[in-house]
Structure 1
Amino acid sequence: MFAVAPRPDGILLDSNEFRFPLPKRFLKRVADELWPVDLRCYPDFAEVEKIKVALARDLGVEPDNLLLGVGSTELLDLISRAFGERDHRIVTPIPSFPMYAHYANLNDRKFVPVPLDDDLSLSSKVAEALLREPGSKSFYVCSPNNPTGLSIERETFDALASDPRAILCLDEAYAEYSGRSFVTEAATRDNVVVTRSFSKIGLAGCRFGYAVASKNLIRELAKAALPYALNSLTLRIAQIFIEEMPLIRAVVEDVKRERARLSTALANLPGFHPYRSDANFLLCAAPGDAAALARRLIELRKIWVRPFSPQSRLRDCLRIAVGSPEDNDILLDALRQESTIHAPRSE
């Protein structure tokens, strides 16, 4: 069972949210254009179709290649329900997004974890292990991967998509930060679904996502979808968001530049080792007890980062969302102080 804790105060770098201000023009349009929405009525199907047309134009696919959902999480659950029987397997390279195992359990599927390589990549060796899994299956692959930040390579995608017994579900929630996407390939293959979300580029509070797949797969997914899943306010905001996407992507570029600055600064701290990331967060090895460091950051500075369980292979790491430059400077100052206070003393 997954429980969501109340939102804490402080600098929140633990949930991979978009920490930069949204463009003022977008926010003004939201304020001006939401008030005519008639909250007494169910969402208008014409609004859904209008969004699909605009989104398809932006992605270079057709509207019939799209299915909208409540964030990508609803769609990932939908995929696990729509395809396969009880013996169907959800095969996932780990560590990755923990909800994949939850969807498998929820929908009476068998969850099969396959460890990533020593460098945390989905290497050809890992891909071969995924492909060796017998029977009916779905590959759930997060690219860029949460929590490692690494993207899937083209040859790995081709290998996994070539298995005729499998559905390849590619979770691209962070793809805007990587410059690499397989949406056009998904639109032309009958065993690939790409899920995307606006949550990581500024609309986490609206819960808007979409799936891209062949028209045949979209029809099958739509059979399992609930009617009126997206509310009228989210639909209107999403339409404005798509229309203002050039402004949003300009801010995404700012986040990517700040990611590089934060990574360099962390690498210059004693004992810290940030891994390369294609996402809006950094996985960073920390000196000493990483979980204890995360607790001290909360207690002393109200800075929230994500530690890992003592049983995880990432137990010596922290996952740090790329915050605003101001928030990142506060984090770096706190980590410098921690490095000084807890540095080993020479005899």
Structure 2
Amino acid sequence: MRRGPLLPGQRVQLIDRRGKPSTITLREGGEWHTHKGVLRHEALIGQHEGIVVANEAGERYQVLRPLLNDFVLSMPRGATVVYPKDSAQIVQIADIFPGARVVEAGVGSGALSLSLLRAVGEHGTLHSFERREDFAEIAKANVEAFFGEPHPGWEVFVGDLQDRLPEVQAPGSADRVVLDMLAPWECLDAVSHALAPGGVWVSYVATVTQLSRLTEAIRSSELFTEPASHETMLRTWHLDGLAVRPDHRMVAHTGFLLATRRLADEQTPLQLRRREKQSEVTEEDLQSWLPADDGAWTEETLKARPVTGRKARRAAAHARQIADEARTAHPDAQEVTDDR
């Protein structure tokens, strides 16, 4: 899927003179229509990427296979995806290595799953947990579309992490845990049960209140090292002769990453010395973390845009179509699918 001539079923990225990318799936007899003319897929099939082609109106395009970043931003989605800038940081600070046994919760559309699967390789495993079945279907189709076949080390489980993780993960058997969910502190017991001593836990949260509550929950448990957190802001630059300056727009806050490591059983974390006196958490602080209405952490209370079942079903159907076409482009795809 990453080398050789372009084949039907593969995704390609077309970049016009303004630098605007468009991603299409190659099909026998297919055509790509825009207001600037028609480009026939036959002009691309059998060619190597990196070529420049013209449509029937003479409009020229650079042809390249989409990188992982490109695929994530163009793939069908139900839930909001974890942006590439955050996925890269998660892989780095969690130290995801080839052969690692990783647990992920909050699969969404599978964007982060793709980066984790790339990092663990063919001999690693990724156990992913998702509460919504429609989101799980979108994620599975997107992953299969990118790799051209099901990943041999990936399994998706539908349900709450707290309930399902003890069923599928032996105590102390996980090397890394990555959570992208509304209330990760509710999974603290399950994570500490599954994570091996020295293992890394990384959580992705959107708001300061979530970050603060998770931090205090980890400290109170005395099962982990002192948590560390940061956010990443990405600013691109305009490059035009001597007019070299920052772009006017940037990908600013998307979420906070919090990382900590599992201590061995019956060990007490070191109390780190601080220049300023650390304030104690009061009952008033705890109440301030709770939503004003019913105390529930939901997408609505966090002002997140909910994803309807109808939108998720459309995205799942689109993702499955792309995955089916990608499988036909992989010479061993049907054999691998049958074996599984």
TM exceeds 0.5?
no
- Higher Cα radius of gyration: 2
Higher helix share goes to which structure? 1
Give TM class, smaller chain.
Answer: 0.3 to 0.5
Higher strand share goes to which structure? 2
Q: Which has the higher contact order (CA 8 A, sep 6+)?
A: 1
